[in-house]
Structure 1
């Protein structure tokens, strides 16, 4: 793709803004993420082409790295250390997001203060990082380099909602600004075609695919949709951010229509990942093959059914996805997990099940292993992968139940 003079000028403007942001960031400490000056990143606009998008990614990555280096220099440390690791974030995310009394308490405020210290200069948060206590100067923002920051495993979207709740509960501009910066990153991270990568700034490989896996995009759509449709919890957002969110939502809906997989001319559901340029379904880790992904597709449909006035192409996407769910129900079996190896067990009272992945060509459940081999029977994969991954789901059942209400 040719990097035109217009794009080059845009890149220079972007570089100037980020250099200014870098200067502002030097005044902050991990214990105080508030900014004494207006955030120059707020002036950035989503890229209109991939050349400008990648330039923005590179510069935001540099901004995050330079922030750590400044802290090391200021504290006389030679090497950054990693924060403590956690399966999620080291705090009860459900409570922090949904319990208003908690976030209004002293304990909730302390958590919000701690989260401020883990927010990257680019505006996001990492996964598998214990954020229950403040980050120390010179510490990295997360425990895994390819996920600093990321939208994987509910990262960034979880912290966005915590900071939005803290903003409303405490009327503290630091929390409001933090949530606004997170939304800005989400909007900037959106590809020109309307999708989102797993991590932004970009990290390469499958991380750059349009990522539905583990509900990354479903969670992003909930944030963008709430901002676009006037959710009262987000009244503190600027008019400019709300306007950008409305445009982002339109682009995202167009992307969902474009990526819904067609088989023999019939729309089905979505893959776990799609190529960021061709929009075709792709594989990720060795045990995650090119396939239709039921759980993630169900959550996409559940989101779409919350839209106030969905356009006709979205209504058709909802209808076709639910038809696919209806057709592929598995009855009379329960997915056993626990001390024994996971397996399907006869149970006439069980809710319907779906395999996590379905082969696009054969329309059969498919299971992957660490060696890249793909099988049509769960029992054929290694015990480690059989026990270490969720191969069946009930999530489409919730979508089908909501669909019946939505049709009325």
Structure 2
């Protein structure tokens, strides 16, 4: 589902030039103007606020608008800073997967905030349309599907995978706050965002898996009706998630005034992570005798803890699954293509346990 591409583009700096056009030289003897390189992913949002007032940032915003669908969402796995050269594939658009829609909305908000005035009318209209799409996509129970309008199959599941729903909730919390760069959002939409985040929190608490009544973690996707752990792709089974659950816990820890239910959810997940840590191994990338990229697990007493991406719902043990959807008990048991192309082990829970959790305990006034 998630392949974190770093997508690069050249934005023409001359006024009025389309984003994909070559920059003309100033004269016969003048060298060509060097185009700036803009990276299209969530990192672009961390640029200095002053940059969003620049001609370069405004040109990128104009290009972002060209990718918005008639429904209001944006596509995934495309650099929205490069002008489209053909029709945008319908199968890729109207999604929250792989930072789609949330990053375009956050980017437009920064450009709108940095460029007040009539020139931002088109950006504002696109932002409002995109936010309306995001709010309409939410299920009444609080979850978000991967795509909207719904298209069937695992795309309709409540999607925690790759932090998709967490990114939506973080965006909506910023919108509802009314603080920069979202101060321009009208009161009605801010209130709808507030209600949506409340429903989102509710479904997070309801989908947390209980084992003999004890709170544990979450699956990467949950059924949109029953809220039970659900299949995603053929190699992503219903399971305890050692990966996506980290983002959910961090979101819960970010809430300013956690309720007893939120505190219990965090404590239950932390206890599960502690119990499921795997020590004494590391995952090694290598090239096999045929020149193919591969991965293997090797013993290493000095290695930091790891967690499996999937833990079996019945046994609680790590499970590895390739495209044939057969559960294996080791990484070596699945095909090379999946071993090398997908992360079956993660280390993100380590920072959660060592740094984030103690800081959260101190913040809410509890002993570490």
Shorter chain as denominator, the TM-score bin is: 0.7 to 0.9
Q: Structure 2: how far apart are the matches of 1:395 and 1:306?
A: 17
Query: Post-superposition shift, 1:348?
Result: 4.1
The RMSD of aligned alpha carbons is 1.8
Choose 103-112 or 213-222, whichever is displaced more: 103-112
TM-score (norm 1): 0.74
Query: Post-superposition shift, 1:349?
Result: 4.2
Q: Structure 1: how far apart are the matches of 2:211 and 2:346?
A: 22
Q: Is the 8 A contact 1:358 1:366 kept in 2?
A: yes
1:403 corresponds to 2:352 = no
Mapping 1:240-251, distance limit 5 Å: 240-251=188-199
| Counterpart position of 1:152 | 97
CA deviations 1:145-202 (Å, max 9, x no partner) are 3332111111111111111111122222322332232222111110001000000111
Query: Post-superposition shift, 1:98?
Result: 1.0
Query: Post-superposition shift, 1:338?
Result: 5.5
Q: Unaligned stretches of 5+ in structure 2?
A: 1-17, 19-37, 288-292, 363-368
| Counterpart position of 1:213 | 161
Q: CA 1:379–1:130 in 2, change beyond 3 Å: closer, same or farther?
A: same
CA deviations 1:92-113 (Å, max 9, x no partner) are 3244211034433322221111
* 311, 319, 322: which one aligns with 2:259: 311
Q: Unaligned stretches of 5+ in structure 1?
A: 1-30, 32-89
Query: Post-superposition shift, 1:392?
Result: 0.8
| Counterpart position of 1:161 | 106
* 66, 73, 76: which one aligns with 1:117: 66
Q: Is the 8 A contact 1:329 1:353 kept in 2?
A: yes
Alignment coverage as a number of residue pairs: 316
Q: Structure 1: how far apart are the matches of 2:244 and 2:122?
A: 33
| Counterpart position of 2:311 | 358
Q: CA 1:242–1:337 in 2, change beyond 3 Å: closer, same or farther?
A: farther
Q: Is the 8 A contact 1:123 1:185 kept in 2?
A: yes
The structure carrying a bigger helix percent of its residues is 1
Q: Structure 1: how far apart are the matches of 2:109 and 2:298?
A: 43
Q: Is the 8 A contact 2:178 2:185 kept in 1?
A: no
Q: Is the 8 A contact 1:218 1:296 kept in 2?
A: no
| Counterpart position of 1:380 | 333
Choose 244-253 or 224-233, whichever is displaced more: 224-233
CA deviations 1:108-133 (Å, max 9, x no partner) are 22111100111112211011224333
The ranges of structure 1 where at least 4 consecutive aligned residues each deviate by more than 6 angstroms after the TM superposition are none
Q: Is the 8 A contact 1:147 1:199 kept in 2?
A: no
* 320, 329, 333: which one aligns with 1:367: 320
Mapping 1:3-402, distance limit 5 Å: 91-100=39-48, 101-135=50-84, 139-140=86-87, 142-143=88-89, 145-171=90-116, 172-337=120-285, 339=287, 340-400=293-353, 401-402=355-356
Q: Is the 8 A contact 1:342 1:387 kept in 2?
A: yes
Q: Structure 2: how far apart are the matches of 1:166 and 1:314?
A: 35
Q: Is the 8 A contact 2:284 2:298 kept in 1?
A: yes
Q: Structure 2: how far apart are the matches of 1:195 and 1:147?
A: 20
CA deviations 1:189-244 (Å, max 9, x no partner) are 10001000000111111100111111111111111122234443211111111111
CA deviations 1:374-403 (Å, max 9, x no partner) are 111110000011111011111112222211
Q: Structure 2: how far apart are the matches of 1:278 and 1:250?
A: 19
Q: Structure 1: how far apart are the matches of 2:67 and 2:59?
A: 13
- Report the 3-state secondary structure (helix = DSSP H, G, I; strand = E; otherwise coil) of the residue aligned with 1:121: coil
